[in-house]
Amino acid sequence: MKTSSRAVWILFLLPAAALVRAENSVFPSVSVVPRPVAVKLLAGTFVLNGQTRIVAVDRESRKIAGLFNDFLLKQDGLHLRITVNRPKRENFILFSQVDSRALPEEGYRLVIGAKSIRIIGQPAGLFYGMQTLTQLLPLGLQPTIELPGLDITDYPRFGYRGVLLDVGRHFFSVTYLKKLLDLAAQYKINRFHWHLTDDEGWRIEIKKYPRLTDVSSYPKDPTTAHGSLALGDEAPHGEYYTQEQIKDIVAYAQARFITVVPEIEMPGHSGAAVTAYPQLACTHSALGNVLCPKEETFTFLQNVLSEVAALFPGRYVHIGGDEVQKDSWRQSAETQAIMKREGLKDEDQLQSYFVRRIERFLTTKGKLTIGWDEILEGGLAPNAIVMSWRGEGGGIEAARQKHKVIMTPSDYCYFDYNQGDPQREPASIGGFIPLEKAYGYDPIPKELQGKERDYVLGAQANVWTEYIATPEYLEYMLFPRLLAFSEAVWSPIEGNDYDDFRRRLPYQFARLDKQDVHYRIPEPDGLKDFYTTTDDHARVELSSLVPAARIYYTLDGSQPTDNSSRYQSPLQIPLQPEQKTTLNLVVIAPGGRRSVVYGATFQRRSYRDAIRFDAKQPGLTFALYEGKFTSAQSIELGTPAVRGITSSFDLQQFSRVFDYGISFDGYLTVQSDDFYEFAVESDDGSVLEIDDEVVVDNDGIHGSRVVTGHIPLRQGVHKFKLRYFQSQGGATLRVNWAGSGGELQPLVGFALYH
């Protein structure tokens, strides 16, 4: 007995690097998310039953042991005795900090042997080891559980692994926030960025300024009022959190090793504050959501932040700083006088002055200041942390200035963006971040080298709630993308494998079903948006990642119901020449929850013949038109302001911000007869034609959106035309293409001629 026990303890004393990297892959029976650093399979199994004891010697270990016991009781009806002494018989689960210093602060060792389960780590590591252990348990109620022998060493890649919830636009109850914190902790998220104020609402009680919640906490849209409170208590006065409720949330998060990061927006996005206290705005300004940088404003903010700092024990306070409508400052004689007094040459420097004053005050409270990447404009405050959302450029610049950075680029980390076809998905703000894209994000930009990379603290997933009013819709947008994100910020990048991640998802879906999480039920495997063929039929084989899900479908364009045909085996879909057939389907989880209606279009058609074109010059001709447009189809009605030749679709080359349109014309060369897919991402409208046929119609005024189309082309040269317009700013234009079965790649100059 002593020899066996000593061997186990020697194993725990080995540093993480001692594990054999050849054994680093996660075994098929292990469906843990995020993927651990190292997993080794051991002989034997551990039997967990009502006779198992939990051993936890110190206070922190007992807290985590209690959380694990609560989990067992809720999921399996088991309630185990917790003791400080190891029982004589070998059937126990040990939580211990002994010999944990060889591990990082959030790291852990989990060894499942035939006679015991041992979790070693500092308090945070013990908690994450417990979370991994819960994911190894089977999901069905059973009095006896057998766990495979495993040796897991694990620790995070990044120390900052965050999720943001915007409650300024839509309010979520205390009860629901606790559920969300449990789910975040389950996937080893350790920061909760609480966006508490915005133009639409002020959600935090400030005792010195009661009008903030008396006036600015009521829902602006009565059709969504209290829609987000379905899972919990009503707000006491309007929709805001009392200071006692905030203390409750902060303590609940701390028990799950989550630091709450409060955000008080300034100087922009401050409409709720200005509504309650109009004197905070600049005089003679029509723009009422920007704070005026006068002494009265700074006194107000210091008083507010004093109460905020006392409520949140974490080191971080986020002060916003994004999208400041500086015209209000330009229009204000009061503001211009401040700029002259302080020797500031422009409004960017004025914003820097504003941020520096707030940062100095927060430093006196022992807090670190975080701001969106706009705080770079005019010069960074000395110790400010930059949260980079407008791509990675702000984060790269800040890191090169030796400032700490949190990456949250909208193209990868904004989980209020669409996950699929916007015509089939619920209403959203736009954009497109499918699960695979979320999984593939690396928070370390390739542009950063050497020690510059050390300034990246981690990354954050954001959910803005302009369109998200209920817990159910919030969960639909967060899950399973939060699982993909958690792996991107926790697991070693060297082992990231999207196919392996998908292999682990069925267990996670079943677990989320059991936890009543309204995750997005993904499209069935084997389903594409568009099928083109020269054959008289198409074969479609489908499967769902959701265990025991049912699939119902129609082929006449109607919406599928439970009375439609049920998918049982591969479909053979007959096709008529030059006609389209529509497949619609719905996936129904075991509990009855339904996916959105997914679909595919099938078309049987002949190839487009190539044309004769011998005089090839690289690039496309372009014509730029100035004016306000609502359709890409109409931009060529005017006279071009500029003509030229270009080899790319990069819009920056045209030095325009909004109110313009561009027509690209030329020829495209394809290397083989094939069915080609084209994908155009644009903000605003775009239309792509090949051989005078509209292949992609992404027209109209809208946010960033991807639309695809397909066309069969013979080898050789084909006419190419792309029209695009921009009306609102935020320009995006990307064109990708692929042959049948290939991955979409950028359409670049070597294939384009004029």
Query: Catalytic site residues?
Result: 198, 269, 323
As a whole number of angstroms, the distance between CA 60 and CA 71 comes to 17
User: Where do we find the tokens 């009422």?
Assistant: 288
Q: CA torsion sign, 724 to 727 to 733 to 737?
A: negative
C-alpha pair distances (Å), 644 with each of 653, 664, 676, 725, 746 = 11, 10, 28, 17, 22
Q: In the chain, how long is the greatest CA-to-CA distance?
A: 90
Q: Is there a contact between 744 and 679 (Cβ–Cβ < 8 Å)? A: yes
Q: Is there a contact between 520 and 505 (Cβ–Cβ < 8 Å)? A: no
Q: CA torsion sign, 397 to 401 to 402 to 405?
A: negative
User: Where do we find the tokens 């950063």?
Assistant: 448
Q: Is there a contact between 58 and 95 (Cβ–Cβ < 8 Å)? A: no
Report which residue type is found at 324: V
547 three-state secondary structure: coil
Closest CA relative to residue 504, chosen from 494, 588, 491, 724: 491
Count of all residues that appear for the chain in the document: 754
Q: Packing angle between helix 471-478 and helix 481-490, nearest 10 degrees?
A: 50
Q: Which two tokens stand for residue 619?
A: 């690039």
Q: Is there a contact between 22 and 118 (Cβ–Cβ < 8 Å)? A: no
User: Where do we find the tokens 């404009």?
Assistant: 377
* Cis status, amide bond into 210, omega within 30 of 0: no
Rg value, the chain, Cα: 29
Phi-psi region of 565 (alpha: psi -120 to 50; beta: other; left: phi over 0): beta
3-state SS of 591-610?
CCCECCCEEEEEEECCCECC
Under 8 Å CB-to-CB from 574, ≥6 apart: which residues? 536, 537, 581
Element (H, E) at 180: helix 174-186
User: Where do we find the tokens 């507010």?
Assistant: 304
Outline where DSSP puts E strands in 671-715. Answer: 674-683, 686-690, 693-698, 705-713
DSSP state, 209?
Answer: -
C-alpha pair distances (Å), 439 with each of 105, 485, 497, 499 = 25, 6, 9, 11
Distance from chain centroid for Cα 242? 28
Tally Cβ neighbours within 10 Å of residue 333.
10
Q: Is there a contact between 215 and 146 (Cβ–Cβ < 8 Å)? A: no
Strand partners, 223: none
- Bridge pairing between strands 81-83 and 368-372: unpaired
Q: Is there a contact between 711 and 738 (Cβ–Cβ < 8 Å)? A: no
Q: Which two tokens stand for residue 461?
A: 């997933």
Element (H, E) at 349: helix 347-364
How many alpha carbons fall within 13 Å on the CB side of residue 192?
A: 27
**Burial environment of residue 494 by CB neighbours within 10 A (0 to 12, 13 to 18, 19 or more):** exposed
